[in-house]
Amino acid sequence: MRLLATLALTALLLPLAAHAGDPHSYAQPDKVVVTHLDLDLHMDFAHRQLHGDATLTLHWKDPKAKDLVLDTSDLKIASVKAVADDGRTRPLAFTLAKPQKDMGRKLTIVAPGHPGMVRIAYATSPDAGGLQWLPPAQTADKKHPFMFSQSESVYARSWIPLQDSPAIRFTYDAHITAPENIRVLMSAPNDPNHPLDGDFRFEQTHPIPSYLMAIAAGDIAVHTTGPRSAVYAEPSVVAKAAHEFEDTEKMIDTAESLYGPYRWGRYDILVLPPSFPYGGMENPNMTFATPTVLVGDKSLVSLVAHELAHSWSGNLVTAAAWRDIWLNEGFTTYVQGRITEALYGKRQADEEVLLSARALEKSIGHMPPNSQKLAPDPRGVGADDSLSDVAYDKGSWFLRTLERRFGREHFDAYLKGYFDHFAWHSITTEQMLAYLKPHLIDKYPGKMSWAEVKQWVYGTGIPKDAQLPDSPRFDAIDKERAAFLAGTLPAANLDAKDWNTQEWMYFLDRLPDAPPLDKIKALDAAWHLTGTPNAEIGMRWYIHAIAAGDKSVWPAAAEHMTRIGRLYLTLPLYRAFAKTPAGLAFARKVYAKARAGYHPLTQEAVERLFARAVQRTAH
């Protein structure tokens, strides 16, 4: 295969332990690989579970293999059967091992004769880590229940028995039954005109990894935004969402002009209830998005640019292991910036680059050395821990460095070729580098040394010669912030009337960690930051006000924490409160009220933070 021909060059790279298997999966893809999944599930809102069958099509690679090993988590397995070509079935023996932390339970199926298909009858747990079931009261319109999945990184196994590793790609079909008047959506082409008759069918003809399996259902309306795009959301939200995302078709056109055709057919966006734990999730054909980006001025629509960019970097070309996740997120953050620049101008794109880069500069030195690497050495951490700012922001910084050294024209041609070459494959960092060397580094000699490349990928920190764009607006804000803190510029005289979201974020990000209380009071009096509907600004404002000791903001901070379940916008407030005994006690009370509306991932993160705070107090 042409893909494998590049591996001869890996001898030029730093030595690294071979990826014999995914440390976050029980699967044994060297013995057998799932090539297709057929789901037939019923959605039971009353019992908060999915139940039905998963039929796996198998490609046996090892003639001596005796078992099929799958990943599961909290699944109730009723039966396992081999399915013959004529449809006849025979029972297969199986065992479920004891659960392991962050891994779930290994399902071992005895498979004599290497059946081509295996059918598993099962039901999910009401507490499945990858599913959230919301009662009507926790939705925007409060009429019908809602459910949605979040499979990344290793939570697909909590609602489907499968090989839950990004190295394994498969196609799928699904038949989902649900109550009438409920719309069901999946990570496959969705029909905006589908009747709400409780019977839905989906077909994903492109091979995807398990973490891109997605499902959602609820009282969901549709608003078309283009010939191949639409916005889905609760009825009271859909018009606002459609206005915010009305440039979606332009984004698709822009990305295609840079990196080749959009290969997935439709690109739709589902705006979820506020409990969604992430900003967005790049599920193929159906991005899941947080409502916190709906601020009315399109200042946060780069999130859509990011999730769309995943249609090339991540969904088309996928990291083969969570250790390599920068191949998804670093590349996507770079492409996001190019889309933002093309549609909204270089100023906004540069400001977003600077915001993330400055935040990384501040945080990377506090990370363990191995966590500072784009491609870390083998380590005993959970899959979720790989999704750090290093993967996103150091990764995109490296690609911007390549663009600057080789020129945009040459780098664009390289990147387009990279997507074409590895399309529909999952690859490692070493495979990416083995393609980079002949197709960019050696092709244009003298631009960048291989030692510099290895320093970016395998080195700690940020290379000293890493450059950032200039931003006159940010430079002016730096001067105003300094004068304000020095007492020579009153808060009311800040030239902030026309600051956009990114500029307020930058001003707040670079305040002292614990600003003087009088400065916080003056800022609030002049600019009324407490109670802001803009969650990006609110998160930054509240953590500084809490650190300054301004208890007057606590009720508004609690409202923010209760209303928003997005980890990035909520966890920093819990962290700020947890630094003092009084704050920790207040945060616990807020959490007791908010917990039921949080996704299981958010619950886990907050409870882990509380446990660490108690440990610190004990010592």
**Domain presence at residue 605:** yes
Q: How confident is the model at residue 379 (pLDDT cuts 50, 70, 90)?
A: confident
Produce one character per residue of 506-527: b if its CB has 16 or more CB atoms within 10 Å, e if not.
Answer: bbbebbeeebeeebbebbbeeb
Report the side by side order of strands in the sheet with 215-218.
131-134, 146-149, 215-218, 183-186
Same domain, 452 and 542: no
Task: Tell me the whole-structure pTM to 2 decimals.
Answer: 0.93
Which spans in 364-495 are helix H?
389, 395-406, 408-421, 429-436, 450-458, 472-486
409 contacts: CB under 8 Å, gap ≥ 6? none
Residue 617 has pLDDT above 70, yes or no: yes
**Domain presence at residue 463:** no
Q: Write out the binding residues.
A: 306, 310, 329
Q: What is the pLDDT of residue 8?
A: 30
Determine contact, residues 272/283, Cβ cutoff 8 Å: no
Same domain, 59 and 197: yes
Q: What is the pLDDT of residue 505?
A: 97
Same domain, 505 and 422: no
Same domain, 109 and 57: yes
Same domain, 415 and 483: no
Q: How confident is the model at residue 121 (pLDDT cuts 50, 70, 90)?
A: very high
Torsion-angle region of residue 31: left (phi > 0), alpha (psi -120 to 50) or beta? alpha
**How far is 299 from 297, CA to CA, in rounded Å?**
5
Average pLDDT (594-615) is: 93
Q: Write out the binding residues for Zn(2+).
A: 306, 310, 329
Q: What is the pLDDT of residue 387?
A: 78
Q: What is the pLDDT of residue 618?
A: 76
List the single range of 29-43, 246-260, 383-397 with lowest mean pLDDT.
383-397
Please give the backbone phi and psi of residue 537, each rounded to the nearest 5 degrees, phi first.
-70, -40
Please give the backbone phi and psi of residue 134, each rounded to the nearest 5 degrees, phi first.
-110, 130
**Domain presence at residue 277:** no
Q: How confident is the model at residue 362 (pLDDT cuts 50, 70, 90)?
A: very high
Report the side by side order of strands in the sheet with 229-233.
221-226, 229-233, 267-271, 286-289, 280-281
Same domain, 450 and 478: no
Last residue of a domain, one of 208, 230, 251: 208
Last residue of a domain, one of 432, 458, 484: 458
Q: Percent of the chain having pLDDT more than 90?
A: 92
Q: What is the pLDDT of residue 616?
A: 86
Catalytic residue status for 591: no
Last residue of a domain, one of 458, 482, 504: 458
What would the pLDDT profile of 44-103 be if each residue is shown by its tens digit?
999 999 999 999 999 999 999 999 999 999 999 999 999 999 999 999 999 999 999 999
Residue 46's domain spans which residues? 28-126+146-208
**SS3 letters for 63-96?**
CCCCEEEEEECCCEEEEEEEECCCCCEEECCEEE
**Domain presence at residue 294:** no
Q: What is the pLDDT of residue 18?
A: 33
Q: What is the pLDDT of residue 385?
A: 78
Burial class (CB in 10 A: 0-12, 13-18, 19+), 5: exposed
Please give the backbone phi and psi of residue 588, each rounded to the nearest 5 degrees, phi first.
-65, -40
**Domain presence at residue 7:** no
Q: What is the pLDDT of residue 17?
A: 32
What would the pLDDT profile of 314-360 be if each residue is shown by its tens digit?
999 999 999 999 999 999 999 999 999 999 999 999 999 999 999 99
Q: How confident is the model at residue 384 (pLDDT cuts 50, 70, 90)?
A: confident
Burial class (CB in 10 A: 0-12, 13-18, 19+), 60: middle
Same domain, 492 and 610: yes
* Structural domain count, the chain: 3
Task: Find the CATH number of the domain harbouring 439.
Answer: 1.10.390.10
**Domain presence at residue 115:** yes
Determine contact, residues 209/168, Cβ cutoff 8 Å: yes
**Domain presence at residue 536:** yes
Same domain, 43 and 178: yes
Same domain, 397 and 437: yes
What would the pLDDT profile of 21-43 be if each residue is shown by its tens digit?
799 999 999 999 999 999 999 99
Residue 10 has pLDDT above 60, yes or no: no
Q: Percent of the chain having pLDDT more than 70?
A: 97
User: Of the listed 152, 234, 244, 307, which one is catalytic?
Assistant: 307
Q: What is the pLDDT of residue 544?
A: 98
Residue 11 has pLDDT above 50, yes or no: no
Tell me the three state secondary structure of residue 534.
Answer: coil
Same domain, 439 and 496: no
Average pLDDT (276-291) is: 96
Average pLDDT (170-186) is: 97
Amino acid making up residue 19: H
Same domain, 204 and 77: yes
The encoded tokens of residue 492 equal 């009311």
- Averaged pLDDT score across all residues of the chain: 94
User: Of the listed 211, 259, 334, 392, which one is catalytic?
Assistant: 392
End-to-end CA distance of the chain: 58
Catalytic residue status for 307: yes
Same domain, 203 and 84: yes
What would the pLDDT profile of 402-426 be if each residue is shown by its tens digit?
999 999 999 999 999 999 999 999 9
